[in-house]
Amino acid sequence: MKNLGFNVYLNGKLISTNGINADGVVTQIVTLRTDVENDEQSLELYSGGYLSKEDAHYK
């Protein structure tokens, strides 16, 4: 099977490359929080996964 992964760009700039070369799982979670009362926002990126042969999680 072809190896898959993610390239993450912010404003056109590559900020992260995430993937695995083995059996497992790659996870990307993007969270945008908006506080309307205080006119604030935050953007978070979680990258992680699981390698089945090693029985190991990574982030």
Q: pLDDT per residue over 31-59, tens digit each?
A: 999 998 999 999 898 888 888 888 888 87
Tally of domains within the chain: 1
Hey, what are 57's tokens? 């999680």
- CA torsion angle 6 9 13 15 (round to 10): -60
**Element (H or E) spanning 38, and its range?**
none
5 CB-side CA count, 13 A: 13
Range of the domain at 21: 5-58
pTM of the complete model: 0.59
Average pLDDT, the chain: 85
pLDDT at residue number 40: 92
| Confidence at residue 2, expressed as pLDDT on a 0 to 100 scale | 63
7-11 mean pLDDT: 89
In percent, the amount of the chain with pLDDT more than 90 equals 24
